[in-house]
Amino acid sequence: MVDPSLRVREVTKTFPAPENSLTRRLALDCVSLTIDGGELVSLVGPSGCGKSTLLRLIAGLDAPDSGDLLIADEPITGPSAERGLVFQDPSLFPWLTVRRNIEAGLVARGVLESQRAEVAEFMRLVGLDSFADAYPHHLSGGMAQRAALARALINHPKVLLLDEPLGALDAFTRMRMQDEVVRLLQARRTTSLLVTHDIDEAIYMSDSIVIMTPRPGRIDQTIPVALSRPRDRGSSDFLALRSHILQVLHFAGSNDPAQNGLVAT
Ligand code: ADP
């Protein structure tokens, strides 16, 4: 099977303006992007530029004012298990064990019996097999996020949407998890879109980086990351790309990174 691509074509989205609900404010302005099948693309941009709005449209949780969104050649018309979501908060069900959390999507779709064998496989894949009967409050932040990833991946999503999934982790766990997520996604060739505020994370993990402008969100540019894997965070090529992206984001010189919520760790 060919890995499904994700296409966003000339998508515009407005919301009622906070100061006057009779008028509408542009959140996304003619946004187009393509993620080829099996690729991981990062979306980077200042707070309020429309990253979450775009993710919600791709998830099918909201509809654009104009433009269209396609997976392979199929339009996105609503939520579907074929698009997995992982958020900063792993939002596991606290009353269910790790195993039952990972099974939850299969239960909801009535396919647990036919796919039960995969539950053990996915727990192994994310290194949680010895925690199958533990409850979420027994897990570290990294483990909980691995359980959330397994819960999304077990549905074999055509596209995985990751909204700052590692944002709440400490720096060391975060770097380890970046390796694990890349390994999981590459092994499965899952087409993925990662929203992150961390430039190093975007360079370390993705095949290309899409940079958005401040509101209204437009695509400023797409920067391919042509570094071989596993990537060396200290290599001159990595650092040169980092410096280039920071320039693009107008970090260099007088602009204050803290103002737009972006970090370079
Ligand atoms: P980001 O994720 O990049 O921080 P968002 O997608 O959350 O940005 O928001 C983009 C813009 O759209 C912001 O100005 C925000 O206030 C506005 N917005 C997002 N969702 C809504 C909503 N449901 N109602 C009104 N305005 C919204």
Give distance in angstroms: CA of 131 to centre of ligand 1: 38
Cα(244)–Cα(252) distance, integer angstroms: 9
Q: What is the pLDDT of residue 263?
A: 53
Give distance in angstroms: CA of 100 to centre of ligand 1: 34
DSSP 26-54: EEEEEEEEEE-TT-EEEEE--TTSSHHHH
238 within ligand 1 shell (Cβ under 6 A) = no
49 within ligand 1 shell (Cβ under 6 A) = yes
Q: What is the pLDDT of residue 173?
A: 87
Q: What is the pLDDT of residue 188?
A: 87
What are the structure tokens assigned to 20, written together?
A: 């006057």
Each residue's pLDDT, cut to its tens digit, for the chain (265 residues) gives 667 899 999 999 999 998 888 899 999 999 999 999 999 999 999 999 999 999 999 999 999 999 999 999 999 999 998 999 998 898 899 999 999 999 998 999 999 999 999 999 889 888 899 999 999 999 999 999 999 999 998 999 999 999 999 998 889 889 988 998 999 899 889 999 999 999 999 999 999 999 999 989 999 999 999 999 999 999 999 999 999 999 998 754 344 444 444 555 5
Q: What is the pLDDT of residue 226?
A: 95
Domain ranges of the chain: 93-156
Closest ligand 1 atom to Cα of 49: 3
Q: What is the pLDDT of residue 260?
A: 46
CB 184 within 8 A of CB 126: yes
User: What does residue 250 show for φ and ψ, rounded to 5 degrees?
Assistant: 60, 35
Q: Whose CA is nearest to atom 12 of ligand 1?
A: 27
What are the structure tokens assigned to 226, written together?
A: 């042509």
SS3 assignment, position 217:
strand
14 within ligand 1 shell (Cβ under 6 A) = no
Among 15, 62, 210, residue to substitute to test ligand 1 (most atoms within 8 Å of Cβ): 15
Long-range CB contacts (within 8 A, 24+) of 72-80 = 72/2, 72/4, 72/5, 72/158
CB contact set of 167 (below 8 Å; sequence gap of 6+) = 88, 196, 197, 198
